[in-house]
Structure 1
Amino acid sequence: MVEPLELGRFISTCRKEKNLTQKQLGEELGVTDRAVSKWENGKSFPDISLIEPLCQILDISVSEFMLGKRIEPEHYQEETEKAWIASLDEPLLYKIQMIIYILGIAAVAVLQVPLFSHGPMCVNIICWAVWGALFFAAYYLDKKIPERKLRYSNPWIEGVFSAIYFLCYMLWFFLRKDEWGTLPMSEQTSLWAIIVVGLIVEFCVRVFSARKNRRSAV
């Protein structure tokens, strides 16, 4: 939400454009002129039940009210998204981010069945269909939910899920080879050591990236 003082100036400008006094605007909304004055001075905020009628009187959209400025038609969708995201809190955005990641991990897990198993064709087809649905859902949410940079700015969410993705890829890359079980124990130990080091590096890199995103997003 826009700062109260900035919103107050916007209300004042729109009121004057309509040639309304504070008293006249207050009478139409059923409040006093002192209440309107407090809005315009940034000392208080209109009651949520008054926002829609106030916008109708001032001939502005709710999105313009939330942003505290006029929106050009060509930028309406972009600015509306900004207004919507401003009404959301960070925990909700991070929950959305976790859902996207969980869908992605589920898609990777489901994909292992047709790649590794030699089951019936119908089972493989179902797995491919489920994988496609999960992948599309994750992709759609990632593209349609705005403020991507802020959603990707929680260091712990980024670090943990990035490490999980890395581990899934490494296990798929190494364990899909039939000769894994024939490798000497020393070589298997070395490969596991490489995977562990890779996990740590991947975790640290993503945490650093998330903190950088956070500084530029908030």
Structure 2
Amino acid sequence: MLDNKKVGDFISSCRKEKDLTQQQLGEILGVSDKAVSKWETGRSIPDVTILELLCNTLGISVGEFFAGEEIAAEEYDKTVEKQLLSALALDKLWIFQVAVYILEFSALTFMLLPIMRTDRLLPSLDPINVICWLMMIAAGLGSFLLDKYLPFKLYRRSNVAIEVSHGIISFLLIISVNIVKMYRYGLEIFWNSRLSPSYFLIIILICLLIVIYPKMALAKDRRRQAEKEELKIR
């Protein structure tokens, strides 16, 4: 977690280097000198809305603010990553990844809907299908960009429950849509088969296990990588 006392001492030191009193710094930031005093004693931290102005006034970077110390240029990226990670709750990182996966599910659903609506091998270019494909592209692009530019991908994808759920939901979406299509358009592959429904259920469960195990193993491996890098999730 963020070390309020260390950050407060750093604010105090930087303020004095700039030859500013607590009152002067407070006037620049639009807060009282008592608020500045609370920051410097570690009883509170500056509001995020004035963080940029505070850093600019003190001549420090946001990363240095979180670290509570000056950071050498060559160490900046790694130190900033560690401090931001410690300042964020773990569930916040997972929420980011859930948002990515929701967009993925949306893209997959829009891709499958035109397939479900037709009894032919390939869907037609009717307006509804075109809209679905456009929505699929938008959701897929949104998912890709979020996953690419959101920080801490290693941590976001290290939650076993979320990763396994992602695999299960993706698999069930594909299976259910195709079963609905077969039932709706009389493609009675299952119904006319000599295999009983229980066998098909077993096959589906086996396929689920094939999906689940790699997702679980990869999530655990990412967690181990995080521990090796000493970027602890708290």
| TM > 0.5 | yes
Aligned to 1:111: 111
The 5 Å alignment of 1:202-217 reads 202-214=211-223, 216=226
Distance in 1, matches of 2:46 and 2:181, equals: 61
TM-score, normalised via structure 2 length: 0.65
Distance in 2, matches of 1:47 and 1:98, equals: 29
Pairs aligned (count): 209
Distance in 1, matches of 2:82 and 2:132, equals: 38
Aligned to 1:190: 199
> Does residue 22 of structure 2 align to residue 26 of structure 1?
yes
**Of 160, 165, 173, which residue of structure 2 is paired with 1:155?**
160
Deviations 1:155-210 (A, max 9, x none): 22222221122334456788888572342134x54343122123245335434543
Distance in 2, matches of 1:17 and 1:97, equals: 41
Question: Which amino acid in structure 2 is aligned with residue 7 of structure 1?
Answer: V
CA contact (8 A) 1:155 1:210 kept: yes
Which runs of 5 or more residues in structure 2 are unaligned? 27-32, 227-231
Distance in 2, matches of 1:128 and 1:208, equals: 33
Give the superposition deviation at 1:15.
4.9
**Of 124, 130, 137, which residue of structure 1 is paired with 2:129?**
124
CA contact (8 A) 2:6 2:42 kept: no
Distance in 1, matches of 2:52 and 2:109, equals: 47
Distance in 2, matches of 1:158 and 1:121, equals: 35
Distance 1:55 1:130, change over 3 A: closer
Which runs of 5 or more residues in structure 1 are unaligned? none
Question: What is the percent sequence identity of the aligned residues?
Answer: 29
Question: Which amino acid in structure 2 is aligned with residue 165 of structure 1?
Answer: S
CA RMSD of aligned residues (A): 4.1
**Which shows bigger deviation, 130-139 or 109-118?**
109-118
- Higher-helix-fraction structure: 1
Question: Which amino acid in structure 1 is aligned with residue 168 of structure 2?
Answer: A
